[in-house]
Amino acid sequence: MSVPVRMDDGQVRVFTGWRVHHDITRGPAKGGIRFHPDLDLDEVMALAFAMTVKTAVLDLPFGGAKGGVRCDPTRMSLGELERLTRRFTWEILPLLGPDQDVPAPDVNTDGRVMAWLMDTISMARGERLSGSVTGKPLAVGGTAEHAGSTAAGIVTCVRATFGALGLPLAGARAVIQGFGKVGAPLAFLLHSAGMRVVAVADVAGAVHNPGGLDVAELARHVAATGSVAGFPEGEALRSGELWEVPAELAVPAALARAVDAEVARRLAARVVVEAANGPTLAEADPILHERGVVVVPDVVANGGGVTSSWFEWAQNRQGIAWEPGVAADRLDATMRRGFAEVWARAEHLGVSLRRAAHVVALERVAEAIRVRGLFP
């Protein structure tokens, strides 16, 4: 749809936005809203499909969706961003609602944007619909657990993978690409789990310390300078060298398409857990498989975020906040169950975890379509 916005200089700019429902057989459409200058319909459709797979493989009562607006939010004022969000929400309003389609934050959107979505939906419908979006601020029905839930789910997958392979976690080395909303809390959690985070990269540079980086110091350095680059307690790396650093675990937690065929040939780690969406190119997958690298696919590994969205939505609808610890326990259990099913199916079929995840998910969707039958 077209999203006209009055800019601060008085001119009207017309942006393009999309909301894609891939599948709604198993529950309301679920998926993030992304603001990015390169966004296009193909990408939104692919991400919506990935959400169908993600919700089905973890057996969450949702379908798959994605949406967003092609815009550069870093060049917009707060007022422009709010007007863009509200007009976009208005344009897709017929699709939305707690039982129809429940958006969440994604690249360049956050709790503030979700609050504007929730308010616009609620004002238009004449009722306070807190369950119409997730990833909201606490003041309007968000949950404390949401922020770190993707990283927490990654750690559950790391533990499960190392356990299944009989690899000790304590002292094992990890490299992480990305030190943002996922990568930074993940570095802390891996460190707390007894691993050594030996290298971290972000958009501006990378650092390496074979003995393990001091994650708290690194976070302070990033808070002060904006990047891991120049961190004094480690050697500088060129970003591309990250994957060659000797380690047991590699976590792409930055961008899509980070692991191409060349990286796949050079990658030193035995285990890759995909925190980013779509970090591994199709050409890289068979190379990693041949080299015996175990890849936990994005649709399983980064499902902690949508699982915690499910808990937020459930609490909004119940009208009661769960006791502290309940959401964390349920998140861990949901991720462990999803991982175990995919691992078992991969062994049974003799295929990669990625293929097994798609088999489990698409079987679930197909079964739901079959038992619902054909209307009328």
Residues in touch with ligand NAD (CB under 6 A):
107, 150, 177-183, 201-203, 239, 253-255, 275-277, 302, 305
Closest contact distance (angstroms) between CB of 154 and ligand NAD is 9
* CA-wise closest residue to 209 among 174, 183, 259, 158: 174
Closest contact distance (angstroms) between CB of 174 and ligand NAD is 15
Closest contact distance (angstroms) between CB of 2 and ligand NAD is 26
Q: Which is nearer to ligand NAD, 7 or 255 (CB)?
A: 255
Q: Which is nearer to ligand NAD, 118 or 251 (CB)?
A: 251
Neighbours of 171 (CB within 10 A): 10
Q: Which is nearer to ligand NAD, 202 or 248 (CB)?
A: 202
Q: Which is nearer to ligand NAD, 241 or 341 (CB)?
A: 241
Place of tokens 């909301």: 19
Q: Which is nearer to ligand NAD, 5 or 35 (CB)?
A: 35
3-state secondary structure of 141: coil
Closest contact distance (angstroms) between CB of 194 and ligand NAD is 23
DSSP per-residue codes, 96-133: -BTTTEEEEE-TT--HHHHHHHHHHHHHHHTS--GGG-
Q: Which is nearer to ligand NAD, 163 or 180 (CB)?
A: 180
- Looking at beta carbons, which residue is closest to ligand NAD? 180
Catalytic residue among 30, 54, 66, 136: 66
Largest CA distance in the chain: 67
Distance CA 113, CA 104 (A): 9
Instruction: Output the CA torsion sign for 75, 71, 15, 120.
Output: negative
> Is there a contact between 149 and 304 (Cβ–Cβ < 8 Å)?
yes
- Phi then psi for residue 259, to 5 deg, are -105, 100
> Is there a contact between 175 and 247 (Cβ–Cβ < 8 Å)?
yes
Q: Which is nearer to ligand NAD, 63 or 178 (CB)?
A: 178
Q: Which residues are CB-neighbours of 318 under 8 A, at least 6 positions away? A: none
Which own/partner pairs from 188-193 qualify as long-range (CB within 8 Å, at least 24 positions apart)? 188/215, 188/216, 188/219, 189/148, 189/151, 189/152, 189/154, 189/155, 190/155, 190/158, 190/249, 191/215, 193/155, 193/158, 193/159, 193/169
> Is there a contact between 43 and 34 (Cβ–Cβ < 8 Å)?
no
Closest contact distance (angstroms) between CB of 371 and ligand NAD is 30
> Is there a contact between 369 and 25 (Cβ–Cβ < 8 Å)?
yes
Distance CA 98, CA 315 (A): 12
> Is there a contact between 126 and 102 (Cβ–Cβ < 8 Å)?
no
Closest contact distance (angstroms) between CB of 261 and ligand NAD is 18
Q: Quick check: is 136 catalytic? A: no
Strands (E), 249-290: 249-252, 271-273
Would you please indicate which residues are annotated as catalytic (active-site) residues?
Answer: 66
